[in-house]
Structure 1
Amino acid sequence: MGSLQSLIGPHRLDALGAWAVTGILVGGVGRFAAGGEFDWAVLTALLVAIAVTVPFATRDLETTVPAELLGLVAVPVLVRAFGGFPQVTPFLVVAGVALLLAVVLDAGTSLTMTPRFATVFVVIVTMAVAGVWAVGIYATDTLLGTTFLDGQTELMWDLVTAAGAGIVAGIVFELYVERSARIARLRVSNPDPPAVDQSEASLPGNGTHHHIAVRTLQAVLGVISAFALVRGNVTLFVNSGGPLAITFLPALFRREYDYAMGTGIVLWITVASTLHAAGAFELYGAFGWYDSLAHAVSASLVAGVGYAVARAVERHSGAVAFNRKFRATFVVLFVLAVGVGWEIMEFTSGGIASMIGGEAVLAQYGTSDIVNDLVFNTVGALVVAGWSTAHFEGLAARLTGRVGRLTSGD
């Protein structure tokens, strides 16, 4: 695996290049501000602030972010300064900010992350920021009467563009890391996964109560799936049969991997699945609040998975260390990114349905629906980040090694 810390170091010639790029970015801030493009002025100023953090913190002007990396991040700013690709370049800059932030946090704080995890972090942050941007722009248009958004399609293409920009930036950074002579290769022994404490995964009630509730909800899902099958309703069958299959995953993990999830977590999964399936059975349209509830509960489960992933990576590698605040932040960012990905899936489903005919398997109901989903996804994430991460320690222990190898580059 590699160390991001090795990217930061005193290199006189490289520092000259980094300061030259920083000077160009400072000029870009002035150009954008003079032209009234204050959003771009702020974005570019943020890049400058991150770039100068390292030399100011170390009090050594020769210790900088690598010039070639900073120059790469500055490319979309220069392209935008000359009027090119206005739809894509903002999200490329956001990806660049995330990339530099990962390097600086690793070098200047107690946080440490491998290049592979930094790549994942860049993608997640870019998509999460796109989700926050969508909510913010919609709120501005609604409350202040502005017209930044021109409908659902424009919003969705912006989210698609953001996801693409994050993925491209992550791939570029991964290639840079593989070819950079400045990345120190480390060999760190991987600790054995800690024993799973099933008591961490408890919810109110005992195991018998949880088991009865799970079987009852599975029966409900089975009835909805059978009804959809008899009526030939493909959309309802997919939206009920899929969640029903998900509820059997804990049993599959127990049989195939000898991992017995706590009954509370199994119930949590089943409730989230049932809410989604029942919503497809006309409840979304009948009750305006139902969609918000379903997204908050589902997002809480996604947040737990995000936490488990971060903890698994941390436990797997001695070269990775996070603190509590970063874990909580990562949980929220992870859920926002997954939420954006889900909206893209719904958008794609609608596009396919319009081309081949028939009803979309995953449906969207306008801009307000998209924004509402993203907001209540965040609510679910905040609940888990603030109070419920301990429920997923057992899952994190089981993921250690599998997820760790994926994100540490072993």
Structure 2
Amino acid sequence: MTRERFGHDERRGDIVCWLLTAVVAVDGLEGVLRDVPLWGGFELLVVAVASIPAVATRDWTATVPWPLMAIAAFAAVARAAGASFEPVAYLAIATLALLVVAELEAFTSVELSRRFAIVFAVMTTLALQALWTVVQFYADQWLGTAYLRSQTELQWDFVVVTGLGLVLGALLQVYFARFEPAGGVSRNGTGSP
């Protein structure tokens, strides 16, 4: 099986993806340096996950769909512009989950039906939200932050991130249906997942 580039059959999409990845990386580094290590570290994790296909294939054109990185960059820019932390975090968590699902579908032999991919993306989003909640709890304990204010707010975090995961998962599947991957892992000799 050969691993080739993923997404629409244009280099412009790859360039846009890398520019958006750079925006997230710069904001992540700035966050780590300006005493927002939790958010900055999360953004750098998004950059690392988005870069895995290119690093693994040693091909700069092996990118995730640029609309996913556009959502991640929007979250980074919104947070830098002073947007409320919770909605931005929901968006970033759902985007990271979708990046994982998109990479699994395009760059591995894992075959996901469209419906299962949405469900898997939502479940991955919930798992990441749970991990993020644990990280926030320990940040509150050790760093003196106040991320977790009440049980009710914590429960609403899970409800909102689940809904957002469903919406973004459905949008990703619409993207896949409209723009078949121009490479990825070959399945049944067709070249698309």
Fold equivalence (TM over 0.5): yes
SS at match of 1:111: coil
Q: Find the counterpart in structure 2 of residue 43 from structure 1.
A: 42
Q: Find the counterpart in structure 1 of residue 92 from structure 2.
A: 93
Give me the identity figure in percent.
30
User: How has the CA–CA distance of structure 1 residues 6 and 120 changed in structure 2, closer, same or farther, with 3 Å as cutoff?
Assistant: farther
Q: CA deviation at 1:111?
A: 2.4
User: How has the CA–CA distance of structure 1 residues 108 and 7 changed in structure 2, closer, same or farther, with 3 Å as cutoff?
Assistant: closer
Q: How does 1:8-407 map to 2 (within 5 A)?
A: 8=7, 11-138=10-137, 144=142, 146=144, 147-182=146-181
User: How has the CA–CA distance of structure 1 residues 144 and 65 changed in structure 2, closer, same or farther, with 3 Å as cutoff?
Assistant: closer
Q: CA deviation at 1:114?
A: 3.1
User: How has the CA–CA distance of structure 1 residues 41 and 160 changed in structure 2, closer, same or farther, with 3 Å as cutoff?
Assistant: same
Q: How many residues align?
A: 184
Q: Deviations over 1:7-29 (max 9, x none)?
A: 45874222211211121122111
Which TM-score applies when normalising by structure 1? Answer: 0.39
Q: Distance in 2 between matches of 1:183 and 1:69?
A: 17
Q: Distance in 2 between matches of 1:116 and 1:39?
A: 33
User: How has the CA–CA distance of structure 1 residues 176 and 153 changed in structure 2, closer, same or farther, with 3 Å as cutoff?
Assistant: same
User: CA RMSD, aligned part only?
Assistant: 3.2
User: How has the CA–CA distance of structure 1 residues 113 and 149 changed in structure 2, closer, same or farther, with 3 Å as cutoff?
Assistant: same
Contact 2:32 2:40 in 1 (8 A): yes
User: How has the CA–CA distance of structure 1 residues 58 and 6 changed in structure 2, closer, same or farther, with 3 Å as cutoff?
Assistant: closer
- Which structure carries more helix by proportion? 1
Gaps of 5+ in 2: none
Q: Deviations over 1:343-384 (max 9, x none)?
A: xxxxxxxxxxxxxxxxxxxxxxxxxxxxxxxxxxxxxxxxxx
Q: CA deviation at 1:90?
A: 0.8
Q: Distance in 2 between matches of 1:10 and 1:50?
A: 22
Contact 1:91 1:126 in 2 (8 A): no
Q: Distance in 1 between matches of 2:182 and 2:60?
A: 21
Q: Distance in 2 between matches of 1:145 and 1:59?
A: 39
Q: CA deviation at 1:93?
A: 0.9
RCO higher in structure (CA 8 A, sep ≥6): 2
User: How has the CA–CA distance of structure 1 residues 179 and 107 changed in structure 2, closer, same or farther, with 3 Å as cutoff?
Assistant: closer
SS at match of 1:132: helix
SS at match of 1:16: helix
Contact 1:92 1:169 in 2 (8 A): no
SS at match of 1:149: coil
Contact 2:17 2:69 in 1 (8 A): yes
